[in-house]
Amino acid sequence: MPTPSLIAITGGIGSGKSVVCSVLRALGYPVYDCDSRAKALMDADTEIKRRIAADINPSAIDANGCIDRKALSAIVFNDADKLAALNAIVHSAVRADLRAWKKTMPTDCSICFVETAILYQSGLDREVEAVWEVAAPVDVRIARVQKRSGLTAAEVRARIASQSFTPASPHPVTCPIINDGHTSLLRQIAALLRH
């Protein structure tokens, strides 16, 4: 049975990946959300929690054995080594989950999407046929994140910096999507779907 093509939707925090994915879902395309699936996997897997406590910080797991996301975020977004450790713990589980999800697609599904902020660091670039890279000016990204999260501009800049990454070998099929608040997203998405 043929499997659908898998396209990554990527871009830094506040770039508008989720908006692009919402449009794709509204058009009927399946979208795997790495963030929500990673959270679900982390909550369900006791081995992941044990490793977070051991390799990152015991304070990231609360008295009930649940992940304290606020504490974990504060640790990893201010320490590149701890962020790398967290990513190493979670990425293989997400890749396996994505492969299983893709196998559940109906036979008439020719394209599905995966939303990820850390395409190359997670190894997902090797799982996809193409990459749609969503971009927006930094000041726009900061304003978007501040509006939805209550973080300070400095905290948002730190998160942007923690996600900054230049791959040694960018995916050979990479298509830009400009999400600056002025350029039509619908036209760009429609054009990419036609191709």
Please write the tens of the pLDDT for every residue from 168-187.
889 999 999 999 989 999 99
Where residue 161 falls among pLDDT bands split at 50, 70, 90? Answer: confident
Helix or strand holding residue 154 (H, E) = helix 153-163
CB 156 within 8 A of CB 146: yes
User: Which residue from 149, 147, 140 is spatially nearest to 183, judged by alpha carbons?
Assistant: 140
Predicted local confidence at residue 117, as pLDDT: 86
As a whole number, mean pLDDT of residues 101-108 equals: 92
Residue 81 has pLDDT above 80, yes or no: yes
Q: Taking a C-beta distance cutoff of 8 angstroms, is the pair 28, 187 a contact? A: no
CB contact at 8 A, 9 and 21: yes
Pairwise CA distance, residues 57 & 47, whole Å? 15
3-class SS shares of the chain: helix, strand, coil, % to 5? 50, 15, 35
For the question of whether the overall pTM of this predicted structure is more than 0.75, the answer is yes
Tokens of 106: 């109906």
Q: Is 82 left (phi over 0), alpha (psi -120 to 50) or beta?
A: alpha
Alpha carbon distance 65, 47 (integer Å): 11
Domain 5-194 class, CATH top level: alpha beta
**Which two tokens mark 176?**
């830009």
